[in-house]
Amino acid sequence: MSNKMWGGRFASGPDAIMEAINASIDFDKRLHAQDIAGSKAHAAMLADQGILSKEDAAAIAHGLDTIASEIEAGSFTFSAALEDIHMNVEARLAELIGSAAGRLHTGRSRNDQVATDFRLYVRDALDDLDSALNALQTALATQARDHFDAVMPGFTHLQAAQPVTFGHHLLAYVEMLSRDRGRIMDARRRLNESPLGAAALAGTSFPIDRDKTARTLGFDRPMANSLDAVSDRDFVLETLSALSIMAVHLSRFAEEIVVWSSAQFAFVSLSDAWTTGSSIMPQKRNPDAAELVRAKTGRIFGALIGLLTVMKGLPLAYSKDMQEDKEPFFDALDAARLVVAAVAGMAGDLKPNRERMAAAAGAGYSTATDLADWLVRELGLPFREAHHVTGRIVGLASDTGRDLNALSLEEMQAIEPRITEAVFSVLGVENSVKSRTSYGGTAPDNVKAQAEAWLGRLAE
C-alpha cells in the first residue's frame, strides 16, 4: 500500500528494510515542541497573508495544541511508517481536524521545516547549557574563594614546578569555561536565522512573509538564500565543535581529580556521593564519575567527526544523508549535559588536604625560580647567570638530600659569595606564592580578589 502522504506517485509501499533505514522518528521525536511551534507560526502567517482562511488557521492551531498535550502526556502514538516527527504530527492533525490539515504545508517543505525545528532545538539546548556552565563556574569560584591561600605544587610535565594556590588552580578552569560559554553564545548568535519559507530549495511562489515567521519564532532574521537555508548544518558543526573544546577542559579537570584523589597524591577527597567501591577490594574509593567524564568526551568528539564526514561531500541542496545529523548530536548533547552536571557536583564536593598539598609544594626544589629571581633582583646578576648559580645550589641540595631552605648560608656563599641571609625569605613556599603579585599571578590576595570578582559576575 502506498504512503498516503506521498500521493499518487507511488503505487506500493516501501520494503521493510527501506522503511527502517529511512525512518527517523525514534530520535527526531525530540523535536516535537519545536515542530509544533514552527507549524503554528507558519499557519498564522499563511492566514495573515490570505493564503489560508482564518477558520482553517484556528482549527490547525487548536489541533496542534491538542497534539502537543498528547505528546506531553505520553498518549501520542509515534509511527515509523510515517518516518519522522513532521509527518507524524501532520497525520495526527488530519485525524483531528480533517482536510484543513492538508493546507498547513502550503509554502514550505520538510527541508526547511526540519532545518527550522533543529535550529530552534539547538538554540534552546545552548541556552540551557550556558546556565549549567554558569553553575559549574560558580562552584569552582566558590572553592577558589574558600581556598585562596591553600598552597599546592604547580606542575609542568607533571613535575613539581612552582608553588601555586589551590584557588588559583581552580580559577584557571573558570577562565576556560568562560571561553567555552563565549563560543556557545557565538554559535547561538550565528544560528539564529530562520530557514522557514525556503521550501524545498528554491523558495515558493506563494506571497509568504518570512520576516513575520522569523520574528514569531524569535529568530533575528530569515536566511537570505533558500539553497543555503535548507542545506546548512554549520550550526550543528559549530555547536559540536564548541562542545568538544568544552569537553577537553572538563576532561582535563576530571583527570586531575583522578590523580589528586589517589592515595599517592592525596591532595583532595570526594564524598560517597561521587565515588564508588570495589566488588573485591573493600578499601577502594574509586573516582568513577571523574573517569566517566573523561570517557564521555570521546562520544562528543565522535559526533563532531561523524557529522563533518557526512557533510564533506554533499552537493547543494538537501540530501537524505543530512538525516544523520540529529542522532549523534543528541547523543553528544546528552553527554555534555551530564558531564557538566557531574563536574559541577564534584567541584562543589571536593575537600582539599591543605597539609598534604603544602608539603608536596615544597618538594622538588619548587622555589628554585624564586632563588634565581632573588639573585637577579638583589645582586643584579643577569638572569642566565642567576639560573646557572641556582642550578649549582639545587645540585648541592640534591646531592646531600636536603631542601633548599635546609642549606646553610655558608654553603650557598661557597657558590655565590654575595648571597646574604635575606635569601631565606624567598625559599619557603608561603613566601613564594605571596611574591607572585603580577596580574594573573598566584598571590593569595590576587586569587581572593579574582574569585570574588568572578562570583559577582556569575551572580548577575
Are 401 and 386 in contact, with CB atoms under 8 Å apart? no
Query: What SS3 class is residue 158?
Result: coil
CB-CB neighbours of 277 under 10 Å: 13
Which is it for strands 351-352 and 221-222: parallel, antiparallel or unpaired? unpaired
Grid cell in block for residue 419: 648571597
> Can the peptide bond before residue 317 be classed as cis, meaning omega within 30 degrees of 0?
yes
Closest to 299 (Cα-Cα) out of 250, 256, 344: 250
Grid cell in block for residue 292: 566517566
Q: List the Cα angle 123/128/130 in 5-degree steps.
A: 95
Q: Is 157 a catalytic residue?
A: yes
Per the residue annotation, which of 157, 205, 279, 408 is the catalytic one? 157
Q: Work out the burial of residue 378: count CB atoms within 10 Å of its CB; fewer than 13 is exposed, 13-18 middle, 19 or more buried.
A: middle
- For 367, phi and psi rounded to 5 degrees? -100, 15
Grid cell in block for residue 122: 539547538
Per the residue annotation, which of 278, 319, 398, 425 is the catalytic one? 278
Q: d(Cα 18, Cα 7) in Å, to the nearest integer?
A: 18
What distance lies between CA 421 and its chain's CA centroid? 51
- For 381, phi and psi rounded to 5 degrees? -70, 145
Are 358 and 273 in contact, with CB atoms under 8 Å apart? no
Q: List the Cα angle 63/68/72 in 5-degree steps.
A: 150
Closest to 333 (Cα-Cα) out of 142, 187, 443: 187
Q: Is 278 a catalytic residue?
A: yes
- Distances in Å between the Cα of 72 and the Cα atoms of 24, 77, 270, 399 are 19, 12, 38, 73
- For 163, phi and psi rounded to 5 degrees? -70, 140
Q: Work out the burial of residue 344: count CB atoms within 10 Å of its CB; fewer than 13 is exposed, 13-18 middle, 19 or more buried.
A: buried
Residues with a catalytic annotation lie at 157, 278
